[in-house]
Each structure stands twice: as structure tokens, then as C-alpha cells.
């Protein structure tokens, strides 16, 4: 986790940081050094933000590949096992790898394309939830199908 934190810091780019571990402690002074870069905010592709995927297990690999290779709206962090002794932790990655992929996402050609695609998805997502959009219509249809019909006939 510290390698990720240092890689993000070294990249010098804004980022979103979400940690679901109560045991992780950031490097000394890290929170202060990155406080203006979006710490603890949650945004996603629906907001037009490109994603940086680092699959750690289960379906995450499929999801990361889908975003990076299918949707082309993000990049993946790839471990460089030959350059880093990760025998104890197969998911380990050095901070310079994180730094490089963040810089590519934010400044490189692949990153530019991913940002453009993410913006397109953000626009489509907003249009879908606007009045008359596809999600708005489907929600109305669902509510209509679940609402009991009024029966005007009387039974005696």
C-alpha cells in the first residue's frame, strides 16, 4: 500500500484515494503532502473520470481489462515481476510503476484517449438519467409495472 501511496505522490497528479483497510497507516507526512489532490473522494466513469485498474483478485481482473481494453476508458497497472522480487506478495508493485502509469494516464497519448472515452461515457451517463433519458424511462416503466391498477368496477 505504501508503494501505491508513494507512486501517486511522485506522479504529482490529482487522484482519488479510497482505502478499505482499517490497518493501513499512510507514510509519515503523506496525507499533508497530498491533501489538495482529491483524497477520499469517490468518482467514477459515470462522471467522466478515466480509471486506473490494478486487479487484486476475483472479478477485478476482468473488470480492469474491460475498462482498459474493451471500453478504452482507462489503463491497467501491470506488475513487472522480472524487475521486482515479489515472492511474498504476488500483487506487489513498485512505486515507480504506479508513478509511470499515473503519468501516462494524465499526460500520455494512451491516457489522452482514455480521458476522451471517459468523457464520452460521462456524457452518456448524464443523458441517461436526465428527464426523458433511457434510465429515466426504464425507471418510470418499472414503477408503472409495480403499481397496482385501479379497478373502477364495484363488487357486491
Per-residue pLDDT averaged across 27-53, rounded? Answer: 71
Q: Among 7-21, 72-86, 92-106, 111-125, which is the least confidently predicted range?
A: 72-86
46 pLDDT higher than 60: yes
Q: Is residue 70 part of a domain?
A: yes
User: Is residue 155 in a domain?
Assistant: no
CATH of the domain at 72: 3.40.50.2000
Q: What is the mean pLDDT of residues 46-64?
A: 81
Residue whose C-alpha cell reads 482499517 in the numeric block:
22
Q: Give me the pLDDT at residue 109, please.
A: 97
Inter-residue contact 9 to 31 (CB < 8 Å):
no
* Whether pLDDT at 146 is above 60: yes
Residue 133 near residue 60, CB atoms below 8 Å: no
Domain for residue 130, yes or no?
yes
What's the chain's average pLDDT? 81
> What's the whole-number mean pLDDT along residues 72-100?
74
In a domain, 152, yes or no: no
Q: Return the axis-axis angle of helices 134-146 and 109-129, rounded to nearest 10°.
A: 40
How many structural domains does the chain have?
1
In a domain, 31, yes or no: yes
pLDDT of residue 57 exceeding 50, the answer is yes
Is pLDDT at 48 greater than 70 in this prediction? yes
| Structural domain of 11 | 2-146
Whether 156 is in a domain gets the answer no
Which is more confident, 142 or 156? 142
Flag whether the pTM goes above 0.75.
Answer: no
pLDDT in tens, 87-118: 556 567 888 999 999 999 999 999 999 999 99
Cα–Cα distances (Å) from 85 to 89, 92, 99, 152, in that order, read 9, 9, 18, 75
Q: Is 111 exposed, middle or buried (0-12, 13-18, 19+ CB in 10 A)?
A: buried
**Percent of the chain, pLDDT > 90?**
37
Amino acid at each position: 500500500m505504501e508503494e501505491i501511496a508513494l507512486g501517486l505522490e511522485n506522479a504529482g497528479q490529482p487522484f482519488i484515494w479510497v482505502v478499505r483497510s482499517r490497518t493501513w497507516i499512510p507514510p509519515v507526512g503523506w496525507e499533508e503532502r497530498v491533501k489538495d489532490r482529491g483524497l477520499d473522494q469517490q468518482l467514477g466513469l459515470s462522471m467522466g473520470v478515466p480509471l486506473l485498474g490494478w486487479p487484486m483478485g476475483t472479478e477485478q481482473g476482468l473488470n480492469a481489462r474491460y475498462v482498459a481494453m474493451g471500453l478504452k476508458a482507462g489503463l491497467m497497472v501491470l506488475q513487472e515481476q522480472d524487475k521486482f522480487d515479489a515472492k511474498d506478495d504476488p500483487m506487489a508493485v513498485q512505486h515507480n510503476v504506479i508513478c509511470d502509469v499515473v503519468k501516462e494516464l494524465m499526460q500520455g497519448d494512451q491516457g489522452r484517449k482514455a480521458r476522451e472515452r471517459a468523457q464520452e461515457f460521462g456524457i452518456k451517463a448524464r443523458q441517461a438519467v436526465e428527464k426523458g433519458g433511457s434510465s429515466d424511462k426504464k425507471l418510470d416503466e418499472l414503477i408503472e409495472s409495480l403499481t397496482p391498477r385501479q379497478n373502477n368496477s364495484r363488487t357486491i
